[in-house]
Structure 1
Amino acid sequence: MARTRVRIPSLLALSAAALLLTSACGNSDPSTVDAARPQDGKPSVVVTTTWEGAFAKAAGAEDIKVIVPQSVHHAPDYDPKPSDLAAVAKADFVLYAPFEPYAAKIKEAAGSKAKLVEVELDNDPTKVSAEVGRLAGLFGTAEAATQWKTGFDTEYAKLNQELRAGWPGGRSPSVVTQVFTAWSAKLAGATTVGTYGPEAVTPAQLAELAAKKPELVLDNAHMSTGTVLPDSGAKQVKIVNYPGEDLDLLSVYRNAAAELKKAMGAS
């Protein structure tokens, strides 16, 4: 995602707490530990945000601890607490995104033997299916992941059909989308005529995008830069990428579909 500011000084302050945790974890070299598949078949998974948590749940994990509270709008700015280190120290897996560089620091500070797994956070259905399948392979939960993907495919197709039925005038709406909400344009079967972000939109880009005469602007609720094309007449729609505390990834698609339906009805 975007280049972000990350504040890690709190990790230095937590070093003392980390020493207590590492003594409880033993002194084995983490690189020699095979954390790919827990003996009881039920991995303990720590995730940085609800987005990774939803991927883990879809893959079949049941014991999931989310570090960054949902109330934190910009996850990379979160300062980990001693309780976060404690959770990591007991985990089999730690899931993080590349734009959350503190994840590796958390694992190191806690002395965890967990397998650190980078997750590609993108709600494009093809990428979701690939990531869920990959995680299930690590967790040893392939059967659960297969069941989830079957339900996901069915729900996605239903939402796509409903949105296509709501196209204004029976034709695919033209949209400009933030780069990390392009998946919602695909969900709606919309025609993407331009993209922007994650950096701030320049005057030249604004002029170029406005010239495309989009009907909708799909904005990333987590990285909003305000009204993108204020004088174009385009309806701006906020798209949320992160699921709620229930870690239900399908709710993200349902919510996006609801917002898109309203916007297409008003356009």
Structure 2
Amino acid sequence: MARTRVRFAPLVALAALSGAVPLLAGCGSGDSPGPENAGAGGHKPVVVATTTWEGAFAKAAGAEDVTVIVPPSVHHAPDYDPKPSDLAAVAKADFVLYAPFEPYAAKIKEAAGSKARLVEVNLDNEPARAGAEVARLGGLFGTEDAAERWKTRLDGEVAKLNGELESAWPGGRSPVVVTQVFTAWAADLAGATTVGTYGPEPVTPSRLASLSAKRPAYVLDNAHMSTGTVLPDSGARQVRIANYPGEDLDLLAVYRAAAAELRKAMAGA
């Protein structure tokens, strides 16, 4: 199996490049012309991803040369403010992957050279949507076979984790949960019964009362958008769910980590 080469844009090194590498503006949107079937003929697509989440989708789709701009140590990636030196890496890219909720997406667009194709990624870990997005990226990269193999692995991993979590249900019954809108996929992974969602906006007192009244056993909180204890007086156990992968850009590890947190919570019920 080919090894994915993951690079993180270092500030000091790229600062030296910022004066030498032109940042070409005016390149349009994700539908702009770009390298079609970049993986064809043995050419391996060069991908720049804004965060490890986009980078993980690229890796799953078969990309082997992936540069990530926002360091994984940044807990809330949308708050990161890329410097011009950070964006120099896009000049050599075939594809630049970003998400629309990232406020620096406009800077990414301005920095992309005429060669790079800008691709807006649908960041959703719900397995069916994640698989569809990986397949789409594989089509863009010319790495369809790799994307299909990853989708097969995803299906097997999700089925395995779902079975393990259902076996761990307290009392053998589907747990009742409230979940942050971007971690609902984890509730589905556990086969949980979702009785309410919250976010991404702050939880109002009336919404808090409404969610507490549903008497959830667990609250699935988004680790990257946490506002602290969501239902402090409800008795619900709060479970930390992470959407972003680590430096290895292993998206399957995100599912395994979520399952581990859920098993731990249910074992303590």
State the identity %. 72
Structure 2: gaps of 5 or more residues: 1-13
1:29–1:122 distance in 2 versus 1, CA, 3 Å: closer
- Which segment is superposed worse, 102-111 or 253-262? 102-111
Distance 2:81 2:176 in 1: 40
Kept in 2, the 8 Å contact 1:19–1:110? The answer is: no
Q: Which residue of 2 aligns with 1:195?
A: 197
Q: Which residue of 1 aligns with 2:36?
A: 36
| 1:176-203: CA deviation from partner (whole Å, max 9, x where unpaired) | 0000000000000000000001111011
Shift of 1:75: 1.4
1:147–1:185 distance in 2 versus 1, CA, 3 Å: same
Shift of 1:160: 0.4
Shift of 1:109: 3.1
Match of 1:59 among 55, 58, 61: 61
Match of 1:117 among 116, 119, 142: 119
Q: Which amino acid aligns with 2:89?
A: A
Residue 242 (structure 1) aligned with residue 240 (structure 2):
no
Structure 1: gaps of 5 or more residues: 1-13
SS in 2 for 1:222: coil
Shift of 1:215: 0.4
The structure in which a higher percent of residues are helix is 1
Shift of 1:73: 1.4
Distance 1:217 1:225 in 2: 13
Shift of 1:29: 7.5
When the two structures are superposed, what TM-score results if normalisation uses the length of structure 2?
A: 0.87
Shift of 1:83: 3.7
SS in 2 for 1:213: coil
Equivalences for 1:1-267 in 2 at 5 Å? 20-22=20-22, 33-38=33-38, 40-267=42-269
| 1:77-125: CA deviation from partner (whole Å, max 9, x where unpaired) | 2122344222100000000001114233224235342100000111000
Shift of 1:37: 2.6
Shift of 1:18: 6.1
RMSD: 2.5
| 1:146-195: CA deviation from partner (whole Å, max 9, x where unpaired) | 11111111111000000000000001000000000000000000000000
Kept in 1, the 8 Å contact 2:91–2:111? The answer is: no
Alignment coverage as a number of residue pairs: 252
1:58–1:245 distance in 2 versus 1, CA, 3 Å: same
Distance 1:149 1:232 in 2: 39
Shift of 1:28: 11
Distance 2:137 2:27 in 1: 24
